[in-house]
Every structure is written in C-alpha cells, then in structure tokens.
Amino acid sequence: GMEGLSVGSVLLTGCDGGLGLALLKGLLEQPRPPQHLFAACLDPQGKVRKAPARGGAGLEGNVTDPNSIKAAVGRVREKVGSAGLNLLINNSGTTRRSTLATETAENMSLVYTTNTIGPLQTSQAFLPLLKEAAEAEGQREMSCNRAAIINISSILGSIEVAEAWEERQDICYRCSKAALNMLTKCLALEYGSSGILCVSVDPGHVTPPLERGMGPVTVEESVRGVLQLLAQLSATSNGTFWDWRGQRLPW
C-alpha cells in the first residue's frame, strides 16, 4: 500500500549510473529502509565503486560474468541467510546512439549482452534466494516486500507505442528492451507459481535524455515514482509493464 516499501533485502544492479545511484539513495531514504541493501556497481574500467557508507554493501557486479554473479550470490547469502533475497532490481543498462542506417552487429551484441542477457543471468543466479524469501514465514500475498524481480526497461522497448522515433532510433537499445520485456513475461510465467513477482518498469529516465517534456523532470522525481509503484505492485501485476507514473504500458 501507500505506506511505502518495507523490504528486508534488496539487490540493485547498475549502480554506477545516475538512475542506479538515485535508486540506491531513494531506497535508503524510505521510512523503513531495507535491512540489507546490496549495490552491484562497475565503472567502465571494471573497478568496484564504494557504495554509500550508510546501510549499503558494495558488490562487484559484472552482470555478464557468471563468476562475478556467483560471487555476488555468495556474498548476499552470507548476509541474508535463510531469509533469502526479497527484491532484485535489474537496472544494468547501456546504449549506443544509432539509426537504422548506422546500426551495427557490434552495437547490437554489446547492448543485448548487458540489457537482456545480464538480467537473465542475474535472475537465474538469485532464484534460490528469491524462492527462500517467497517461502519465508508470514509471507502470503505477492509483493515486492515478499519476493520480486523488477526489470528496469524503457518505453522505447514498447512495440505498440514506438515512442520518440523522430528523436532517437537507437535500434540496438529498442530491440534489447523489447527482448527484456519478453524476458519479464517468461520469468513471470515460470517463477510466479513460486510466489515471485516479475515486472518491467520504465523509469522515464533514459540516457541520453529524450526531448524536454517527454519524461520526469529530474531523476529524483523518476525514483520517487518508481518506488511508489513498487510498493503497490501485487499478484495482478505479475508479468506486466508499468511506467514511473504508475501507468500500465502496452508491450
């Protein structure tokens, strides 16, 4: 409900970027912040960033490297124990500016690897911990407080809306986010019976930004909206696509 999130443990990937850091800050500033907050961060050189001193634990978070993911799972398990992991937010994302005329196989591969394969591998790896959280005592209704995978997607991945074509074609980004949305649906179909909620969310905050007036004014406004939405998601939202304003989006 409206009282905000009350999540025991959260793992957030992609914490080097503006949105990731703002989400981290937003989670720490909740009335009841997570007891365990894990931030998986990689700067372009591959060095681990230090998470904020207050309440966050930094993880080496290369979402496309199975060894790195495995190590992260171990670190999280050490801290959360049998309570499991309540909320996985797959926020790792990248883009390359492109048009249909300039798009390349290299762009397509790079962006798909980070934006689609990364969330798949992270979700697979953390499934046992998410299942443990879903089965924990006193948890009945599906929610982000119980067990959930949130894939940070984009309106640009909506085939039906096909937003902002004149502003930016970015084929590699659009295709990777459309594929991520299909992954969300697949995760929802497979993990829903285990009590794990799986949802795609468009934060309205894309890099580089769209034209003025097309999204939230600030990244803080985006994060406020996203966290408000997460607090309200339930079983009926499993396998669906929402934006930062709490509006349902078409695939």
More confident position, 181 or 3: 181
Give me 171's structure tokens: 């084929």
Average pLDDT over residues 104-133: 96
Tell me: pLDDT of 51 over 60: no
CATH of domain 9-248: 3.40.50.720
Could you read off the pLDDT of 56-109 as tens digits, one per residue?
566 656 777 888 889 999 999 999 999 999 999 999 888 889 999 999 999 999
Task: Supply the pTM of this predicted model.
Answer: 0.91
Residue percentage of the chain with pLDDT more than 70? 85
CB atoms within 10 A of CB 43: 11
pLDDT beyond 60 at 49? no
Q: What is the pLDDT of residue 152?
A: 96
Peptide bond into 208 cis (omega under 30): yes
Decide which of 103 and 205 is more confident.
103
pLDDT of 207 strictly over 70? no
Domain extents in the chain = 9-248
What is the chain's mean pLDDT, rounded?
88
**7-11, 27-31, 52-56, 232-236: least confidently modelled range:** 52-56
**pLDDT beyond 80 at 208:** no
pLDDT single digits (tens) 129-155? 999 999 997 768 999 999 999 999 999
Average pLDDT over residues 200-228: 79
Q: Say what the pLDDT of residue 187 is.
A: 98
Predicted confidence (pLDDT) at residue 117 exceeds the cutoff of 80: yes
